[in-house]
Amino acid sequence: MRSFRVHTFLVHPGKNQDPAPAISGKEVNNAGKLTDLLLRIYQAQPEPRDFEITFRHAADGTKQNDCRDLLLAYQAKPSLEAGLAIATRLQSVTDRRSGMGLLFVMTGQHGTKFRTVISRFPANEGILAEVDASGLDVEFLEQVFIKQMSAYKSILVEDQHPPSLYWSGFATDRQAGAAPENISSYWIDDFLNADFAETPKAGTRRLADALRKAVKANPDLLIKEEIAAAVSLAEPIFKGKSLSIEEFCKHFGLSKQSTDSIINQLPKSSLAKKKFKFDVDEFKKTVPYRSVEMKNGAILTAPAGEFESVFDMTQEKNGNVRYSTVSKISDQRITKR
């Protein structure tokens, strides 16, 4: 069983600075509150607000990524030197806007896998208050880190055989707020040189396919209506945003039956939690039209995202509904059923 190793580095901004400021670092090896805190970060499972990333290959297409190489070197031989190489890379992309940060590099065996976690905490200010024999003493502190656990960036990679694997991991940017689309390009592009593990089109297509199949498969008209309405409203709401299928259902307050019906269309239920960036074009391509078939034989069809604005619907007392629309006729068709 390999032991848990941690190194920490104080990283000043160094982007476009020559010479770059010196980086101080040390191994954290004292058992105590700090180690307990770091162990909690290291052992934490990815949360729904974290998202999976994949390191990019080299510019010439070969299977190589500088940041991944540094993680692998540290994982293979955790040392101050290997940690410093990671801190130096971070410094080279850190500008004054990102400011000073305290970096923790941690690695060890986690279950059957080898886990490596890198966390960066921004510098904050604080006030130290102490009561001694002479009374209350307060002191202004300029370099306070980990003031709150809700503000840090990190990357977690774990696998059974790091040298061949370690291509994907979970990235966090708690400073960016809850929305992963706000993740700073400083962290994901410049430092990690990574992309979302799932392309926007792949995730959006899965959602749209599940919605389409759920409407088709479900005989309940209320569920069909609920899902179809969500499809019509989705484009402007989620354009460019990150979401999971579960979050999509939650956003529209879909009933449990509708949500279950959508999730049942997925190849496996765990995909409902998988994050992706919504791609409007892919959504339009996969669910282009919404149709309502009336009992009197009428079929109303409009682009899915415009159905609600193209047709006005009023509920009548006898349970009937009235759809109306005003426009010029552009074409007429006679088709087979």
Partner 1 sequence: MTLKGTEVYETLYCEILTPLALALKSHLAEILSGVERIDSISTRAKSPKSFQGKALKSGEGGKFKYSNPLYEIQDQIGARVVVFYLSDIEVIRNRLKEYLVPIESLEKSPERDSEFGYVGEHFLFSMPDELKPDGREDDCPHFFELQIKTLFQHAWSEASHDIAYKAPRPLTRLENRQMAFSAAQSWGADQIFEKLYRSIADNDG
Q: Which amino acid makes up residue 244?
A: S
Q: Write out the binding residues for partner 1, residues 88-147 only, by CB under 8 A.
A: none
Nearer to partner 1, 43 or 160 (CB): 160
The closest alpha carbon to 188, from 108, 242, 144, belongs to 242
Which range touches partner 1 (CB under 8 A), out of 127-135, 214-222, 233-241, 268-276?
268-276
121 HSE (CA, 13 A, CB side) = 19
The pattern of x and - marking residues 277 through 306 that bind partner 1 according to CB under 8 A reads ------------------------------
Q: How far apart are the first and last CA of the chain?
A: 66
Note the Cα 241 to chain centre separation in Å. 10
Nearer to partner 1, 74 or 167 (CB): 167
DSSP 134-170: TEEEEEEEEEE--S-TTS-EEEEEEESSTTT---EEE
| Alpha-carbon span 302 to 325, nearest angstrom | 11
250 in contact with partner 1 (CB under 8 A): no
310 HSE (CA, 13 A, CB side) = 16
CB–CB of 232/311 below 8 Å?
no
Which range touches partner 1 (CB under 8 A), out of 19-27, 61-69, 220-228, 309-317?
61-69
Nearer to partner 1, 60 or 132 (CB): 60
Q: How far is the CB of 227 from partner 1 (least distance, A)?
A: 20
Q: How far is the CB of 271 from partner 1 (least distance, A)?
A: 6
Measured over all CA atoms, what is the biggest interatomic distance in the chain, rounded to whole angstroms? 95
271 in contact with partner 1 (CB under 8 A): yes
195 in contact with partner 1 (CB under 8 A): yes
Considering only residues 29, 143, 257, 269, which one is a binding residue for partner 1 as defined by CB under 8 A? Answer: 269
Q: Which residues bind partner 1 (CB under 8 A)?
A: 54-55, 57, 61-63, 159-161, 163-165, 167-168, 195, 197-199, 201-202, 205-206, 266-271, 274
